[in-house]
Amino acid sequence: MQRIDFFSRITLRDTARWMALFLFVFSLSLGSKVYAVSLNHTPDRQIADAILKKVYPACIKLYGIDSLTKRQNAAPFSAVVVSSEGHILTVAHATKPGNLYRVLFPDGKEGMARALGRLVTDSSTNLPDVAMMKMEGERSWPYAEMGWSSSLAENQLCFGWSYPETLLLNQPFLRIGRILNPLDAYGFVQSSCIMEPGDSGGPLFDALGRVVALHSRIDGPEGRNYEVPINIYRRYWSALQKNEGIDQYPTTEDPIGLDPLIKELHAQPMANRIEKSRRKSLPVFTITSTINADSVQILGTGFSLPKNKQVIVTKSTLVGQYPVLKYGKKEYALKVLARDKTNDLIALQAPVKLRETIRWTSIADDVLTTDDVGRRIWTAISPAEIKNGVVGMAPLNMPAWQSSGSISAQLQEINGLPTILHVDSLGPAYIAGLQKDDKIVLLNGNDVASAEKINKEFMNYFPGDTVRVSWIRGEDSLASDLVLTNKLLRENNHPANNIQGGKSIRRDGFPSVFLHDSRIHSYECGSPIFNAYGKCVGLNIARYSHTASLAIPAQVLLAFLQNEELE
CATH number, residue 56:
2.40.10.120
CB of 556 closer than 8 Å to CB of 536: no
Assigned domain for 209 exists: yes
Residues 55 and 70 in one domain: yes
Q: Which of 430, 463, 482 is the last residue of a domain?
A: 482
Query: 315 near 341, Cβ under 8 Å?
Result: no
Same domain, 367 and 341: no
Domain with residue 555: its CATH number is 2.40.10.10
In the prediction, which pLDDT does 24 show?
Answer: 34
- Same domain for 88 and 229, yes or no, is yes
> Domain boundary at 272, 301, 325, which?
272
Domain membership of residue 47 (yes or no) is yes
Between the alpha carbon of residue 190 and those of residues 170, 218, 433, the distances in Å are 26, 9, 54
β-pairing verdict for 385-398 and 376-382: antiparallel
Dist. CA 144–CA 213, nearest whole Å: 12
Query: Is 107 contained in some domain?
Result: yes
Query: Are 503 and 386 within one domain?
Result: yes
Cα 356 to Cα 362: distance, rounded to the nearest angstrom: 13
- What residues contact residue 476 under an 8 Å CB cut-off, 6+ apart? none
Residues 450 and 464 in one domain: yes
Residues 319 and 383 in one domain: no
pLDDT at 28: 40
In a domain, 408, yes or no: no
Domain containing 136 equals: 1-28+38-272
Distance CA 167, CA 320 (A): 28
Contact status, residue 156 vs residue 190, Cβ threshold 8 Å = no
Question: Distance between CA 30 and CA 94 in Å, rounded?
Answer: 7
Asked if residue 410 belongs to a domain, the reply is no
CB atoms under 10 Å from CB of 172, counted, come to 25
How many whole angstroms separate alpha carbon 510 and alpha carbon 525?
15
DSSP one-letter string for 211-240: EEEEEEEE-SSTT-EEEEEHHHHHHTHHHH
Is residue 374 assigned to a domain?
A: yes
Judge if 52 and 64 occupy the same domain. yes
> Is the residue at 136 inside a domain?
yes
Same domain, 315 and 422: no
For β-strands 358-359 and 294-305, DSSP reports them as parallel
428 and 385 within one domain: no
- pTM (2 decimals)? 0.90
Please check whether residue 154 is in contact with residue 117, taking contact to mean a CB–CB distance below 8 angstroms: no
Angle at 548 between CA 457 and CA 2, to 5 degrees: 80
In a domain, 278, yes or no: no
Domain count, the chain: 4
User: What pLDDT tens digit does each residue of the chain (567 aa) get?
Assistant: 333 332 233 333 333 333 333 333 334 433 333 323 445 557 899 999 999 999 999 999 999 999 899 999 999 999 999 999 999 999 999 999 999 999 999 999 999 999 999 999 999 999 999 999 999 999 999 999 999 999 999 999 999 999 999 999 999 999 999 999 999 988 999 999 999 999 999 999 999 999 999 999 998 767 789 999 999 999 999 999 999 999 999 999 999 999 999 999 999 999 887 665 444 568 999 999 999 999 999 999 999 999 899 999 999 999 999 999 999 899 999 999 999 999 999 999 999 999 999 999 999 999 999 999 999 999 999 888 999 999 999 999 999 999 999 999 999 999 999 999 999 999 999 999 999 999 999 999 999 999 999 999 999 999 999 999 999 999 999 999 999 999 987 778 888 888 999 999 999 999 999 999 999 999 999 999 999 999 999 999 999 999 999 999 999 999 999 987 776
Per-residue pLDDT at 41: 57
What pLDDT, on a 0 to 100 scale, did the predictor assign at position 45?
95
Which CATH number is 419's domain given? 2.30.42.10
- In angstroms and rounded to an integer, the radius of gyration of the C-alpha atoms of the chain is 25
Whether 386 and 512 share a structural domain: yes
Q: Quick one: 246 and 313 in the same domain?
A: no
For residues 160 and 215, give the distance between their C-alpha atoms in angstroms, rounded to a whole number.
9
Give the pLDDT of residue 282.
Answer: 83
Question: What is the helix (H) or strand (E) element at residue 180, kind and residue range?
Answer: strand 173-181
- Do 384 and 447 fall within a single domain? no
Half-sphere exposure of 332 (CA within 13 A, CB side): 17
Check residue 251 and give its pLDDT: 96
DSSP 507-521: ---EEEEEEE-S---
Last residue of a domain, one of 233, 250, 272: 272
